[in-house]
Amino acid sequence: MSKLIFWDFQGTLAHDEYMFSKALYNVLCKYEPYTEVSIEDFKKISLVGFPWQQPQNEYMHLTDSEAWWKHAEDILIKGYMKLNVSEERAAIYSKEIRQALASGESFQLYEDTIEVLQYFMEKGYSNVILSNHIPELPKIVEELGLSPYILDCISSANVGYEKPNPKIYHYALKKHCGYKDIWMVGDSILADVRGPEYVGIKAVLVRNKIEENVRYYSKDLLGVKKIIK
């Protein structure tokens, strides 16, 4: 095969609205069923420190999943404490967020996802997921039933670089070399269009508003079939 498509995951192939906020809230309710804190309260707080928030940096020290989650737990503890959860209780609750998110159960595929992945697979394209995500993304993808349609799943948490850092695209291109026709499809203008274009990958923006000039755009994945031939 000489044709390759990199696909973003969150917001492109699948979605989990308010991913961390929802997980934080659900775990709190498990331990404190009569809490007056709402999920809206969690949506309002800022969780600062995730690697994808500063993609210009490198995170090679976090490529071990245990190290990544230890880093994340520190962020989540601070999030709980902003809503007056004690540090001691926050430390206990935060350890359960990993289990809450590391499963396909919290994600939903878009209606056109499997149809389009299968279409391009039958057209001779290799499908590879390339996403800023948690270490367990390959497991999530498998549980969602996407494995038959993809060659590989690359999560930034396991690589040490975040889109749009050029190094993550170079990593993916080196891992999957020998292709002549290469595309990226995703919902982020920066991570899935400008970043790939910078390293010579053609890119399609999907499921998002066009706020600046993009060469290739589709409101959904079905329209990508008309762009990538």
CATH tag, 3-15+108-227: 3.40.50.1000
- 202: which residues sit within 8 A by CB, 6+ positions away? 182, 183, 184, 196, 215, 216
pLDDT tens digits along 34-68: 999 999 999 999 999 999 999 999 999 999 999 99
Q: Can you give the residue ranges of every domain in the chain?
A: 3-15+108-227, 19-104
Residues written for the chain:
229
pLDDT tens digits along 169-188: 999 999 999 999 999 999 99
Dig out the tokens for 102 from the structure. Answer: 């590391």
pLDDT band at 215 (very low <50, low <70, confident <90, very high): very high
Which string of b and e fits 130-152 if b means at least 16 CB within 10 Å?
bbbbbbbbbebbeebebeebbee
